[in-house]
Chain A
Amino acid sequence: NAGVMQNPRHLVRRRGQEARLRCSPMKGHSHVYWYRQLPEEGLKFMVYLQKENIIDESGMPKERFSAEFPKEGPSILRIQQVVRGDSAAYFCASSQAGSDGNTIYFGEGSWLTVV
């Protein structure tokens, strides 16, 4: 049973370019979460999605960031016009139906570097 799969693992973008990060949840998991981790800092919630639905995007910056989880295919976190401050590790996590107490598993992360 494969775990949460993220790609790319490492991504370098120049300022102003777009970054697309992909996440395939664990088999049987229908809920996806994205977290951002700045260097030597904690995990900050960004967005929680179910298939074709954004449940909670309270942690998403208002501009340049968007996320989707289509009916088919992986969840995508998209960052437009990247700036140096976007450099961070972006972790995707998944769980079964989001009722109380379901375990959340993390992927290996995507490390974005903006130069």
Chain B
Amino acid sequence: GENVEQHPSTLSVQEGDSAVIKCTYSDSASNYFPWYKQELGKRPQLIIDIRSNVGEKKDQRIAVTLNKTAKHFSLHITETQPEDSAVYFCAAKGIGGDYKLSFGAGTTVTVRA
């Protein structure tokens, strides 16, 4: 099955700086890569996703890049704000009979005011 690794496990940034989280995946057949944000005691919420036919996608302060050859993808948050503090999870989805989302271990992001 798919194995997703995520780094770093914790990230502390000054407000206004950028945050970058990186993930690698094992299954070259995966073609869907979402990112979820989870605040304490709440559900994971989809913040952005990318499909394998696209190399980069941006939504306001959030961007995701995908390198299919190297099997890694990254989340970039620019101009960080205190409300960006949360746990972020990357995920990858296989194709064929294996449709489940496999998650990375998560990155706890703390934005210092």
Comparing A19-27, A79-87, A100-108, the segment that makes contact with chain B is A100-108
B81: interface (CB < 8 Å): no
Interface contact tally, CB-CB below 8 A: 58
Please, which residues of chain B bring their CB within 8 A of the CB of A98? 99
- A45 B45 Cβ-Cβ under 8 A: no
How distant is A45 from chain B, measured CB to nearest CB, in Å?
5
- Select one of B44, B46, B99 contacting A43, CB under 8 A: B44
Contact call B43/A107, Cβ cutoff below 8 A: yes
Please name all residues of chain B whose beta carbon is closer than 8 Å to the beta carbon of A108 when the two chains form the complex. Answer: 42-43
Please state if A104 and B101 are interface contacts (CB–CB under 8 Å): yes
Interface pair A106/B32, CB less than 8 Å apart: no
- Chain B interface size, under 10 / 10 to 19 / 20 to 34 / 35 or more: 20 to 34
A48: Cβ under 8 A from any B Cβ: yes
- B93 partner, pick from A42, A44, A101, beta carbons under 8 A: A101
What is the minimal beta-carbon distance from B108 to any residue of chain A, in angstroms? 9
Q: Assuming the A-B contacts A43-B44, A91-B43, A109-B43, are A104 and B34 also in contact, with contact meaning beta carbons closer than 8 angstroms in the complex?
A: yes
Q: Which of A16-42 contact B (CB under 8 A)?
A: 31, 33, 35, 41-42
Query: Which of A33, A41, A99, A100 interacts with B101 by CB under 8 Å?
Result: A33
A102 partner residues in chain B, CB cutoff 8 A: 32
Contact mask A49-81 → B, CB, 8 Å, 1/0?
A: 000000110100000000000000000000000
User: Bound complex: CA of A41 vs CA of B44, how far in Å?
Assistant: 13
8 Å CB contact of A56 from B42, B95, B100, B105: B100
Whether the Cβ atoms of B42 and A45 lie closer than 8 Å is no
Among B1, B46, B93, B102, contact of A100 (Cβ-Cβ < 8 Å): B93
- Which positions 17-58 of chain B face chain A at CB distance < 8 Å? 31-32, 34, 36, 42-46, 49, 51
* 3 nearest A-B pairs in the assembled complex, by CB-CB distance: A101-B32, A98-B99, A106-B43
